[in-house]
A = this chain, B = another copy of it.
Amino acid sequence: MTHLALSDRTLELVARRFRYLGEPFRLRILQSLSRGEKTVGQLVEDLDANQPNVSKHLQMLLEAGLVSRRKEGTSRVYSMGDPMLLTLCDLVCRSARERTEEDLAELQSAQARKP
């Protein structure tokens, strides 16, 4: 992004990563995993979601290297798969929060002018 030209393939990989992060439900999964590794069943309970949906999203996250997993008996234990993730989400969350605050401030000053 900075200065180097990325190949189409790399660009597609990076885009996929962002795209896979761009789903509220998957963000909730990652948020849950950030508090500790969990089995599919634990995620289903924690997120109050249905199991096939959780499995499918986990599969996508796994594909993109955003989570990793290990077997444990008949269960699969999933965990955050990329140390970059915490930093990344922190960045975006902070920035989004700042932006929300800016919007709020604008809204308030607009209300102060108008009525």
Q: Which A residues form the contact surface with B (CB < 8 A)? A: 1-3, 5-6, 8, 10-24, 27-28, 30-31, 34-35, 65, 82, 84-97, 99-100
Contact: B90 with A10, CB < 8 Å?
no
Query: Which of B19, B90, B100 meets A19, CB within 8 Å?
Result: B19
Nearest B residue to A65 by beta-carbon distance?
B99
CA distance A5 to B32 in the complex (A): 9
State how many copies of this chain the complex holds.
Answer: 2
**A19 to B: closest C-beta gap in Å:** 3
Cα distance, A89 to B3, chains bound together (Å): 11
B17 with A19: CB separation less than 8 A: no
Please determine whether A34 and B100 come into contact, CB atoms closer than 8 angstroms. Answer: no
The reply to whether A18 and B14 form a contact with Cβ atoms under 8 Å apart is no
With known contacts A18-B19, A19-B23, A10–B88 Cβ distance under 8 A: no
Closest 9 pairs between A and B when the two form their complex, measured CB to CB: A19-B22, A1-B89, A18-B22, A18-B21, A15-B24, A84-B95, A13-B96, A65-B99, A11-B24
- Chain B residues contacting A94 (CB-CB under 8 Å) are 84
